[in-house]
Structure 1
Amino acid sequence: MTIAISIKGLNKTFHGGRKALDEIHLDIAAGEMVALIGASGSGKSTLLRHMAGLMAGDGASQGLVRVHGQTVQQHGKIASDIRQTRAGIGFVFQQFNLVDRLPVIINVLAGTLHRVPLWRSLLRWFTPTERAQGVDALKRVGIAECSAQRASTLSGGQQQRAAIARAMVQGAKVILADEPIASLDPESSRKVMDILARVNREDKCTVVVSLHQVNVAMKYCPRTIGLHQGRVVYDGPSVALTPMLLRELYGADADEILSLGDHISSLQDSQHTGPHLAWPKPLAALSPMALAA
């Protein structure tokens, strides 16, 4: 088994002594699609940023993060060759991280900047082959007709799909998605999760996605990692995440997780791309007695 992401003894303490990550040990295999779940402040976004080398762990710890064998950070220091490593890591932000005034195609082609000369990146000059790659990526996410539009004219769901297309053009073998559907409507959320699942399946890309909705994690991700106050409290099959287990793991914080229903499965859709790992009933349909079990 090839390990895509390896984390050993990672800790992160913010100002004031708040422990954001507490002795994280994880191995994620190449080609897995993994969900990160947890209440607000549990450390999901912080962990993803450490995986990408956007944030360094505590210097006093022995924390080590590697992606496909390349060191991202160690002992609280980002690796000196992090730019080369990041070339293989696509990061999908909750707020899309597009340049509003630029056309969608230029935003997507930003995924090539790690391999084009500086002068071309400054002039935003791309070869016909590179532009064709960008258009193909936009076709795959279903918004090729928007390629010439300014990014600011797209809906939230379309902007998120453009961000995924950028990661495709980048050639990323690992995609880290930080709550990519948190601000989207149900239909847009379904499309974004379907695309991530398809990229995982067709491109053999490792996908780690942080989610608030447990049922969505179960629908799309065979494996779920649960965080609570910076610690891994669950790492296993998504199908095992019953409401009772969640209450055992999270205590009072489980209310925040359980209160968010599955707004994707409620849609009538004949084409499902996920592995269909949802509970028999959406959380919202469970009785208060069942939730308290």
Structure 2
Amino acid sequence: MTAALHIRQLNKHFANGRHALRDINLSVQRGEMVALIGASGSGKSTLLRHVAGLVAADGGSESLIEIDGHCVQQGGRIHRDIRKVRAQVGFVFQQFNLVDRLPVLVNVLVGLLHRIPCWRSWLRLFSQQERSQAIEALARVGIADCHAQRASTLSGGQQQRAAIARTLVQGARVVLADEPIASLDPESSRKVMEILARINREDRCTVIVSLHQVDMARKYCPRVVALHQGQVVFDGPSSALTPALLRDLYGVQADEILTGTPPTQDAAPAAPAMPWVPPLAQAA
């Protein structure tokens, strides 16, 4: 069976010389829910952005990333058909990536942009069926009553649920969630993780979520991949992640992962920002 995600010999150096990803070899099967854990600067966000085709690996390398058997990038070159592959990949960002001044419903309908003509997206002309689909997605994440509000009026937890609803409307078969609960309170974090787990269970989509909190990884994700200084140092059942093992893997950084509290200063430069801006945002 074709894996939902296949990564081979992935390496990434940034312009400052930092080796951000080192010989990553990883396969995720369809329908799995996998947590990426690691201290700040370990490479979690960088890895997810490579998987989504937002960042290219080292040029001239032997790297390969495939989603459902379709090439995302190879040898440091993004595949020419990347738009078709991205249509099946939903990306949930830590900072939600919603357009504040647009209604929640329109933000969710952005998930349809790969299936409708450009002129309809510019004019925000959506059919009643498409709007009903978006309302249904918002209902699944528990905020259908907020559909007419501006995104800026929602709480952080509600905005993140709207971002997940966008992936539902998109029909994504693979959901990449980059620190989706890092800026949320405990109750909102629990709700977001439960929604991701329910989508994985009910829709059988593959979910890969990067987390700072190992307790959340153990509770919601059967499998954990741990990164340290850009390398995979553990890949196995979350039940095996004991505090003793984490201290063996991370040393003094284990406390950051166990408590879910990042250091006051970033351990590494931030990954490049997402270059794509939805046409709806430009037209608003």
Alignment TM-score > 0.5, same fold: yes
Kindly state the Cα deviation for residue 251 of structure 1 after the two structures are TM-superposed: 1.6
Where does residue 57 of structure 1 map in the other structure? 57
Q: How does 1:132-281 map to 2 (within 5 A)?
A: 132-260=132-260
| Mapped partners of 1:183, 1:259: distance in 2 | 14
- Give, as a single letter, the amino acid of the residue that structure 1 aligns with 2:161: R
Amino acid at match of 2:210: S
Q: Does 1:69 align with 2:69?
A: yes
Alignment of 1:13-32 (within 5 A): 13-32=13-32
How far is 1:36 from its partner?
Answer: 0.2
* Partner deviation per Cα, 1:58-98 (whole Å, 9 max, x = no partner): 01311100000110000001010101100000000000000
After TM superposition, which residue ranges in structure 1, 4 or more long, deviate above 3 angstroms?
A: none
Distance 2:169 2:78 in 1: 25
Cross-structure match for 2:119: 119
**Displacement after TM superposition at 1:51 (Å):** 0.5
- 1:14-56 per-position Cα deviation (integer Å, ceiling 9, x unaligned): 1121010000000000000000000000000000000100100
SS at match of 1:245: helix
Q: Secondary structure at the match of 1:161?
A: helix
How far apart, in 2, do the equivalents of 1:10 and 1:131 lie? 40
Written as runs of structure 1 = structure 2, the 5 A alignment for 1:278-293 is none
Letter in 2 for 1:200: N
Q: Which residue of 1 aligns with 2:104?
A: 104
How far, CA to CA, are the matches of 2:259 and 2:166 in structure 1? Answer: 33
The one-character-per-residue Cα deviations of 1:189-243 (angstroms, maximum 9, x if unpaired) are 0110000000000000100000000010000000000000000000000000001
* SS of residue in 1 equivalent to 2:233: strand
Query: How far apart are the structure 1 equivalents of 2:128 and 2:81?
Result: 30
Q: Who is 2:264 aligned against?
A: none
Which whole-Å CA distance do the structure 2 matches of 1:260 and 1:98 have between them? 25
Deviation at 1:259, TM superposition (A): 2.8
Give ranges in structure 1 of 5+ residues lacking alignment. Answer: 262-293
Structure 2 equivalent of residue 284 of structure 1: none
Determine the C-alpha separation between the residues in 2 that align with 1:34 and 1:24.
16
Q: Measure, in 2, the Cα distance between the counterparts of 1:243 and 1:80.
A: 44
Question: Please, what is the CA RMSD of the aligned residues?
Answer: 0.8
Normalization by structure 2: what TM-score?
0.91
* 2:151 and 2:159 in contact (8 A); partners too: yes
1:83 corresponds in structure 2 to 83
1:155-188 deviation digits (Å, cap 9, x = unpaired): 0000000000000000000000000000001111
> Secondary structure of the residue that 1:24 maps to in structure 2?
strand
C-alpha distance in 2 between matches for 1:243 and 1:186: 21
Q: Percent identity at matched positions?
A: 70
Q: Give distance in 2, aligned partners of 1:259 and 1:126.
A: 45
Aligned equivalent of 1:264: none
Larger radius of gyration, structure 1 or 2?
1
The alignment of Structure 1 onto Structure 2 pairs a total of residues equal to 261
User: More displaced, 63-72 or 248-257?
Assistant: 248-257
Q: Per chain length, whose mean CA-contact separation is higher, i.e. which structure has more relative contact order (CA < 8 Å, sep 6+)?
A: 2
